Amino acid sequence: KNDKEKEIVQTPGQHTIEKVCNYLHLPVKSSVKAVVYKLDDTVVLAMVRGDHEVNEVRLQSIYNAINVDMASDEDLKACGLTAGYISPIGLKTSEHFDIICDASVMEMQDACCGANVKDEHYIHVNPARDFGNVKVDTIRQIDAGDVCPHCGGKIVLTKGIEVGQVFKLGTKYSEKLDATFLDNNGKSRPMFMGCYGIGVTRTVAASIEQNHDENGIIWPVAIAPYEVVIVPANNKSEDVMKAAEGLYNALESSQDEIVFDDRAERAGIKFKDADLIGYPLRVTIGKKWQESGCVEIKLRRTGEVFEVPYENCAEKVEELLNYLRENNL
């Protein structure tokens, strides 16, 4: 335990946690970080350990807020806060300004934090002694290695993908809409509202994040904008173009979603674009068709190539598409 009195040190030009700690030769976890939010109409100074991040969802829940934003320069000025040098020391809360500290902050000893004056920080700070009467709650993000309060196991973090959102709206809108219900006592009360939704564009982005390689997208056939791309390798050959167009018509009649890449580009560019866009199947009509009557069908997901006679191509394409559908690929 360190009982040294806090003292002010000059930290000219140092206004980020990392810079301050480097300047003072302290580990980041010995610093207290200030993050200022605007929760509805209240400016909230949130304090966490320097190596932690604020859990904004938890903060929103504590203050029962609808809107969560970072405080503006005007908000900071109105509350007498100096960006980069903020701490609770010497500050007073009010109806529109509150201070909340994470529980781990109040356990710190010999810490450093802002002095609420430009180019100055405190050292030898003991928050429980020096921060005054501040609100204390758990407001930090959980970290890998933290202990689960229920089973005692270590927390492991993995990445997730947000494709839907749920918002608690409270009674803000129901009061304005006069949307009410009768409680057990027959008294009219405003409904508690919420909203939710699954975003189409978020779902597409999530799919691409899970289905891609170094060459581009790998569309699952169920949501692929087009299932097959037909690539004539030689646009200058009238026979190749006619054969490609005939195959396109045959597959279209099967109600498959087909792209006919008849651009006047080199075959290599078309192949690269087909991989980038991510069509589940690529059918190539070129030199092999001219020599042996066979076309190439490539599975984008595995890179596997099938050589089949031209007359059997449509049947093989249907077989491969059915395989992809049945296996959710």
Residue 200's pLDDT is 87
User: Are residue 229 and residue 315 in the same domain, yes or no?
Assistant: yes
User: Does a structural domain hold residue 182?
Assistant: yes
User: Are residue 112 and residue 169 in the same domain, yes or no?
Assistant: no
CATH number for position 293: 3.40.50.800
Confidence class for position 52, pLDDT limits 50, 70, 90: very high
Query: pLDDT of 73-90, one tens digit each?
Result: 999 999 999 999 999 999
- Cite the DSSP H helix spans in 56-199: 56-62, 73-78, 127-130, 172-177
Check pLDDT > 60 for residue 268: yes
**Which among 214, 167, 215 is positioned nearest to 193, based on CA atoms?**
167
Residue 2's pLDDT is 64
User: Does a structural domain hold residue 158?
Assistant: no
Query: pLDDT of 2-48, one tens digit each?
Result: 678 889 999 988 878 899 999 999 999 999 999 999 999 999 999 99
User: Does a structural domain hold residue 146?
Assistant: no
Q: What is the mean pLDDT of residues 273-282?
A: 96
User: Are residue 17 and residue 96 in the same domain, yes or no?
Assistant: yes
Give the long-range contacts of residues 70-75, CB within 8 A, separation 24 or more: 70/35, 70/36, 70/37, 70/38, 71/36, 71/37, 71/38, 71/43, 72/38, 75/36, 75/38, 75/43
Q: What is the mean pLDDT of residues 215-236?
A: 94
User: Are residue 258 and residue 194 in the same domain, yes or no?
Assistant: no
User: Are residue 14 and residue 131 in the same domain, yes or no?
Assistant: yes
Query: Which domain does 284 fall in, by range?
Result: 217-326
Share of the chain above pLDDT 70, in %: 99
User: Does a structural domain hold residue 212?
Assistant: no
User: Does a structural domain hold residue 208?
Assistant: no
User: Are residue 232 and residue 179 in the same domain, yes or no?
Assistant: no
**What's the mean per-residue pLDDT of the chain?**
92
User: Are residue 234 and residue 194 in the same domain, yes or no?
Assistant: no
User: Does a structural domain hold residue 206?
Assistant: no
Contact between residue 131 and residue 16 where contact means Cβ atoms under 8 Å apart:
no
User: Are residue 41 and residue 121 in the same domain, yes or no?
Assistant: yes
Q: What is the mean pLDDT of residues 232-253?
A: 90
CATH number for position 24: 3.90.960.10
Q: In sequence order, which residues have a C-beta less than 8 Å from that of residue 291 and are 6 or more positions away?
A: none
User: Does a structural domain hold residue 12?
Assistant: yes
User: Does a structural domain hold residue 145?
Assistant: no
Q: Kindly report the CA angle at 147 between 143 and 150, in degrees rounded to 5?
A: 125
d(CA 124, CA 308): 78
pTM above 0.85, yes or no: no
Contact between residue 110 and residue 124 where contact means Cβ atoms under 8 Å apart:
yes
What is the number of domains present in the chain?
3
Check pLDDT > 70 for residue 318: yes
